Structure 1
């Protein structure tokens, strides 16, 4: 039988009770191997438990242009396979690429206003994963809480401990209070369930092969080890190269390289996306890449030479600069402002000093108000 061929699922008492009480089950589908395998394996378990099929749904957070083009169809195929309705949600303010662009535009405005010490680039990172938080969690969670107000909702998420050091302590389940506070009057309760926490890569791929589960082209055609955005800020060189091998990703690849050239920030801290497949870039864009790399090196040198005692910390700025420090800051900012076509609103030491005083006064006023 199918169910005997699968590795055991991780399940704890809170999940058992919620399911036996008829909680809603929401399968979080990304299109990746783990979400597909977990949805299928959990569906089999729910059938054996007698959990009502009409209390199950699938949810996909569409990242727009950042997705592989084949992801929406793959997600639909998984939902059909487990025989549940699919809901697709999106960030109202724009897709993942728009979020990166918005972040850089905001960073430039703040730099121009001397609200930040260093220019901020567009990209998310391992410590600032707004790609996950803002475009997935912050969209899916509120949607489920609104739709199933007053209910218990079990979100099935395909996280595994062997994926990374950061996930080695992933629990079997955890209460999610972000969108449905425990004990709230509405009675809405959300629990995240990670049924595949103990599965290996080999077990996940074997489940797909043995049971004919839909598998994304990123794996079986292009050799990717993981699926996320077509080009992920956390991806390995292997997975970035795999993405460039898909013709449907070419326009996205060139667009993101263009963002590197305009921002002078590499897609990953130690890797320019432009260097992954330069043969796919037109000559004009390659020239822009070389200029951006030179400008990025200049920017790093400039910012490294700025007064270290005034570097950004929580509650910045920490103090007033000395007149000499203010002059150094004004001189350092000039070429960066010019490179990005920004107004030089604080062109000299006295103007910078006055701006710091204004910022400190504002900070003191906020602290007094609290």
Structure 2
């Protein structure tokens, strides 16, 4: 246990176990519990929390999380984003992107999905749901969030520290005197060690592993998921409606669920004939969109919502020619149909920026 975490534990910090239903969060819980018991930390200052992702969640996840918390004999609190689940967030993002594209407030059409570079699915659906809640209900305390991250999961997580201060929801020197920290007690573990701990203590294992052979548990379908895990999820009958919903959004948006990989191709046999046809058209339209946007001057891409300069008449003509078919595909109004209108819009945007 890192020295700053041990010092906080000995001082009676609240221990908050972030449970996802996956093997790593469960292993982190039970590994940390043993260490806390050895230090004499009071069990009444330990709680579990779960961020419910709504329709994105496997049907069995809430029950699995409840069983894990019960096995550890700690209370569980479940929270959910008030403004909609992850499926709604993806729909909202695409709807907002179309509005911005129609008004030429963005250079390229923006798709619905989160990504490795834009993980709003995690920040908005988990961190922003749980962090403020904990800072409010445990105001004035030292709060240690235990999160099951392992370094061998990915290159991004290979640099995960054993612990770190967390000032996102309780800034240093805040009026309430709240201190928040994050501890990764199994950061150095292997997957084999995680499964071995489950077997040793009889920890409930999610059906994604035990029934369908997934290597990881996340959402039913995750933008960071391997193809094998996507196929495993698609093979679960309870995930069928979610699969079709997301494929339908692929077809409507013309954006693949993952860069270079369409979720629909995970299990094409599950698609009704009408959706198969819609998806084939979407793939053709996606290629056309990429080609059209590729003809637009690359150095005019907006930076932080603003264009870098006013395009020449030739450049503006190319932008107008590229936008037209994309706007028609998504049934959007072409408010800037020619070079003069494009230049006037860019001029207006730059004037607004300067103001």
TM-score grouping bracket, smaller chain normalisation: over 0.9
Look up the match of 2:113. 123
- Give the aligned partner of residue 12 of structure 2: 22
CA distance in 2, matches of 1:12, 1:122: 40
> Could you tell me how far apart the structure 2 residues matched to 1:276 and 1:227 are?
17
Corresponding residue for residue 175 of structure 1:
165
Q: Which residue of 2 aligns with 1:344?
A: 334
Aligned match of 1:258:
248
Where does structure 1 differ by over 6 angstroms across 4 or more consecutive aligned residues?
none
Superposed CA deviations along residues 3-46 of structure 1, whole A, max 9, x for unmatched, are xxxxxxxx111100110000001000001000011111211222
**Cα distance in 1 for residues equivalent to 2:304 and 2:19:** 36
Tell me: CA distance 1:315–1:263, structure 2 relative to 1, closer, same or farther (3 Å). Answer: closer
Instruction: Give 1:1-370 correspondences, 5 Å limit.
Output: 11-314=1-304, 316-365=306-355
Query: Contact 2:252 / 2:282 at 8 angstroms: preserved in 1?
Result: yes
User: Which range moved further: 260-269 or 327-336?
Assistant: 327-336
The Cα of 1:341 is off from its aligned counterpart by 1.0
Shift of 1:312: 2.8
Q: What is the alpha-carbon distance in structure 1 between the residues aligned to residue 305 and residue 228 of structure 2?
A: 40
For the residue of structure 1 that corresponds to 2:149, the secondary structure is coil
| Structure 1 range deviating more: 315-324 or 258-267 | 315-324
Q: Which residue of 2 aligns with 1:5?
A: none
The secondary structure found in structure 1 opposite 2:36 is helix
Q: Residue 165 of structure 1 aligns to a residue in which SS?
A: coil
In 2, Cα distance between equivalents of 1:327 and 1:171: 51
Equivalent-residue separation in structure 2 for 1:20 and 1:315 (angstroms): 48
Question: For 1:150-177, what per-residue CA distance to the aligned partner results, in whole angstroms no more than 9, with x for missing partners?
Answer: 0000100001111111111211110000
- Are the aligned partners of 2:105 and 2:305 in contact in 1 as well (CA < 8 Å)? no
Alignment length, in residue pairs? 355
Q: Would the aligned equivalents of 1:158 and 1:196 in 2 still touch at CA under 8 Å?
A: yes
Contact 1:315–1:363 (Cα < 8 Å) also in 2: no
Moved more, 282-291 or 302-311: 302-311
1:315 Cα deviation (Å)?
5.3
Which structure 1 segments of 5+ residues have no match? Answer: 1-10, 366-370
Shift of 1:349: 1.1
Map of 1:8 onto structure 2: none
Match of 1:3 in 2: none
Deviation, 1:48, is: 2.2
User: Normalised by the size of structure 1, how large is the TM-score?
Assistant: 0.95
CA RMSD between the two structures? 0.8
Rounded to whole Å, the distance in 2 between the matches of 1:299 and 1:177 is: 41
Residues in 1 aligned to 2:252 and 2:22: alpha-carbon distance in whole angstroms:
31
TM-score normalised to structure 2 length: 0.99
Whole-angstrom distance in 2 between the partners of 1:182 and 1:311: 38
Q: 1:24 touches 1:151 (CA, 8 Å); kept in 2?
A: yes
**Cα pair 2:106 2:305 within 8 Å, conserved:** no
